[in-house]
Amino acid sequence: MSKGHIQVYTGDGKGKTTAAIGLAIRAAGAGLKVFFAQFIKNRRCSEHRALERFRDFITVRQYGRGFIRGRSSTRTKAIIERGFKEVREIVQSEEYDIVILDEINVALHYGLIKLADIIELLENRPPDIEIVLTGRYAPKEVIKKADLVTEFKKIKHYMDKGVRARKGIEK
Protein backbone atom coordinates (compact mmCIF):
# COMPACT_ATOMS: atom_id res chain seq x y z
CA MET A 1 0.00 0.00 0.00
CA SER A 2 1.29 3.44 -0.82
CA LYS A 3 -0.40 5.08 2.17
CA GLY A 4 -1.84 3.47 5.24
CA HIS A 5 -4.78 4.96 7.06
CA ILE A 6 -6.16 4.83 10.60
CA GLN A 7 -9.54 3.16 11.03
CA VAL A 8 -11.70 3.05 14.16
CA TYR A 9 -14.62 0.67 14.74
CA THR A 10 -16.43 1.70 17.93
CA GLY A 11 -19.85 1.86 19.59
CA ASP A 12 -22.05 -0.45 21.64
CA GLY A 13 -23.34 -2.51 18.71
CA LYS A 14 -22.29 -6.01 17.71
CA GLY A 15 -19.83 -6.49 14.86
CA LYS A 16 -16.65 -4.49 15.52
CA THR A 17 -14.35 -7.50 15.77
CA THR A 18 -16.23 -9.25 12.99
CA ALA A 19 -15.64 -6.25 10.71
CA ALA A 20 -11.94 -6.27 11.58
CA ILE A 21 -11.76 -10.00 10.81
CA GLY A 22 -13.46 -9.39 7.48
CA LEU A 23 -10.89 -6.73 6.67
CA ALA A 24 -8.06 -9.09 7.65
CA ILE A 25 -9.40 -11.84 5.38
CA ARG A 26 -9.87 -9.39 2.49
CA ALA A 27 -6.29 -8.18 2.99
CA ALA A 28 -4.99 -11.77 3.05
CA GLY A 29 -6.84 -12.41 -0.19
CA ALA A 30 -4.90 -9.49 -1.70
CA GLY A 31 -1.59 -10.90 -0.45
CA LEU A 32 -1.18 -8.39 2.40
CA LYS A 33 0.20 -9.39 5.80
CA VAL A 34 -1.92 -8.69 8.87
CA PHE A 35 -1.05 -8.65 12.57
CA PHE A 36 -4.24 -9.10 14.60
CA ALA A 37 -3.67 -8.17 18.25
CA GLN A 38 -6.58 -8.95 20.56
CA PHE A 39 -6.49 -7.03 23.82
CA ILE A 40 -8.64 -8.05 26.80
CA LYS A 41 -9.77 -11.32 25.16
CA ASN A 42 -8.06 -14.59 26.03
CA ARG A 43 -10.16 -17.49 24.78
CA ARG A 44 -10.11 -19.24 21.44
CA CYS A 45 -13.29 -18.94 19.44
CA SER A 46 -14.43 -19.99 15.99
CA GLU A 47 -12.87 -16.80 14.59
CA HIS A 48 -9.42 -18.08 15.54
CA ARG A 49 -9.94 -21.38 13.72
CA ALA A 50 -11.05 -19.42 10.65
CA LEU A 51 -8.08 -17.06 10.77
CA GLU A 52 -5.67 -20.00 11.14
CA ARG A 53 -6.60 -20.94 7.57
CA PHE A 54 -4.81 -17.75 6.51
CA ARG A 55 -1.73 -18.29 8.72
CA ASP A 56 0.63 -17.38 5.88
CA PHE A 57 -0.87 -13.88 5.89
CA ILE A 58 -2.54 -13.31 9.28
CA THR A 59 -0.88 -13.57 12.68
CA VAL A 60 -3.15 -13.49 15.75
CA ARG A 61 -1.97 -12.81 19.30
CA GLN A 62 -4.04 -12.33 22.43
CA TYR A 63 -3.08 -10.04 25.30
CA GLY A 64 -5.60 -10.34 28.06
CA ARG A 65 -7.34 -12.42 30.68
CA GLY A 66 -10.94 -12.08 29.57
CA PHE A 67 -13.66 -9.48 29.46
CA ILE A 68 -13.54 -6.71 32.06
CA ARG A 69 -16.43 -5.60 34.20
CA GLY A 70 -15.21 -2.78 36.41
CA ARG A 71 -11.71 -2.78 37.87
CA SER A 72 -9.00 -4.94 36.42
CA SER A 73 -6.02 -6.53 38.07
CA THR A 74 -2.40 -5.44 37.92
CA ARG A 75 -1.72 -8.76 36.19
CA THR A 76 -4.16 -7.88 33.39
CA LYS A 77 -2.55 -4.46 33.04
CA ALA A 78 0.92 -6.04 32.82
CA ILE A 79 -0.23 -8.47 30.09
CA ILE A 80 -1.72 -5.63 28.06
CA GLU A 81 1.35 -3.43 28.50
CA ARG A 82 3.61 -6.27 27.31
CA GLY A 83 1.30 -6.83 24.36
CA PHE A 84 1.32 -3.17 23.42
CA LYS A 85 5.11 -3.12 23.60
CA GLU A 86 5.18 -6.02 21.14
CA VAL A 87 2.67 -4.23 18.88
CA ARG A 88 4.91 -1.13 18.83
CA GLU A 89 7.83 -3.29 17.69
CA ILE A 90 5.65 -5.00 15.07
CA VAL A 91 4.51 -1.65 13.65
CA GLN A 92 8.05 -0.29 13.47
CA SER A 93 9.36 -3.52 11.90
CA GLU A 94 7.17 -2.89 8.84
CA GLU A 95 6.77 -6.67 8.47
CA TYR A 96 2.98 -6.28 8.32
CA ASP A 97 0.82 -4.13 6.06
CA ILE A 98 -2.11 -3.93 8.48
CA VAL A 99 -2.09 -3.97 12.28
CA ILE A 100 -5.43 -4.51 13.99
CA LEU A 101 -5.71 -3.56 17.67
CA ASP A 102 -8.91 -5.37 18.64
CA GLU A 103 -10.57 -4.08 21.85
CA ILE A 104 -7.80 -1.51 22.38
CA ASN A 105 -10.42 1.17 23.03
CA VAL A 106 -11.75 -0.88 25.95
CA ALA A 107 -8.23 -1.21 27.35
CA LEU A 108 -7.88 2.57 27.08
CA HIS A 109 -11.24 3.14 28.77
CA TYR A 110 -10.23 1.05 31.77
CA GLY A 111 -6.80 2.67 32.07
CA LEU A 112 -4.90 -0.46 31.09
CA ILE A 113 -2.92 1.48 28.54
CA LYS A 114 -2.14 5.17 28.26
CA LEU A 115 -3.82 7.31 25.65
CA ALA A 116 -0.48 9.07 25.04
CA ASP A 117 1.05 5.72 24.04
CA ILE A 118 -1.70 5.07 21.48
CA ILE A 119 -1.40 8.58 20.04
CA GLU A 120 2.37 8.19 19.80
CA LEU A 121 1.96 4.88 17.96
CA LEU A 122 -0.46 6.45 15.48
CA GLU A 123 1.71 9.51 14.90
CA ASN A 124 4.98 7.60 14.53
CA ARG A 125 3.85 4.63 12.47
CA PRO A 126 5.47 4.12 9.08
CA PRO A 127 3.24 5.90 6.53
CA ASP A 128 2.32 2.76 4.57
CA ILE A 129 0.95 0.79 7.58
CA GLU A 130 -2.81 0.61 8.06
CA ILE A 131 -3.89 0.63 11.73
CA VAL A 132 -7.34 -0.49 12.87
CA LEU A 133 -8.53 0.16 16.44
CA THR A 134 -11.68 -1.56 17.66
CA GLY A 135 -13.81 -1.55 20.78
CA ARG A 136 -16.44 0.60 22.38
CA TYR A 137 -15.44 3.82 24.16
CA ALA A 138 -13.09 5.18 21.46
CA PRO A 139 -11.72 8.43 22.91
CA LYS A 140 -12.22 11.64 20.95
CA GLU A 141 -8.44 12.01 20.57
CA VAL A 142 -8.25 8.68 18.71
CA ILE A 143 -11.30 9.55 16.61
CA LYS A 144 -9.65 12.85 15.68
CA LYS A 145 -6.51 11.02 14.45
CA ALA A 146 -8.52 8.50 12.42
CA ASP A 147 -9.18 8.67 8.70
CA LEU A 148 -12.23 6.40 8.93
CA VAL A 149 -14.56 5.98 11.92
CA THR A 150 -17.53 3.64 12.01
CA GLU A 151 -19.85 3.62 15.00
CA PHE A 152 -21.75 0.38 15.63
CA LYS A 153 -25.02 1.24 17.36
CA LYS A 154 -27.14 -1.33 19.14
CA ILE A 155 -30.81 -1.01 18.28
CA LYS A 156 -31.85 -4.43 19.54
CA HIS A 157 -29.97 -7.56 20.63
CA TYR A 158 -31.33 -10.97 21.55
CA MET A 159 -28.76 -11.29 24.35
CA ASP A 160 -30.86 -8.72 26.24
CA LYS A 161 -33.54 -11.44 26.36
CA GLY A 162 -31.12 -13.97 27.83
CA VAL A 163 -29.87 -15.64 24.63
CA ARG A 164 -26.33 -16.81 25.34
CA ALA A 165 -23.42 -16.50 22.90
CA ARG A 166 -23.71 -19.13 20.19
CA LYS A 167 -20.86 -21.02 18.55
CA GLY A 168 -20.21 -19.70 15.06
CA ILE A 169 -22.31 -16.57 15.62
CA GLU A 170 -20.93 -14.76 18.71
CA LYS A 171 -18.08 -17.09 19.60
For residue 62, what are the CA distances in angstroms to 42, 59, 154?
6, 10, 26
Domains of the chain: 6-161 (3.40.50.300)
CB-based contact 162:37 (threshold 8 Å): no
Mean pLDDT of the chain: 93
CB-count burial class (<10 Å; 0-12, 13-18, 19+) for 142: buried
- pLDDT at residue 87, rounded to an integer: 98
- With 90 as the cut, is the pLDDT of residue 141 above it? yes
State what percent of residues in the chain have pLDDT above 70. 95
8 Å CB contact between 28 and 2: no
Q: Give the H or E element holding residue 132.
A: strand 130-134
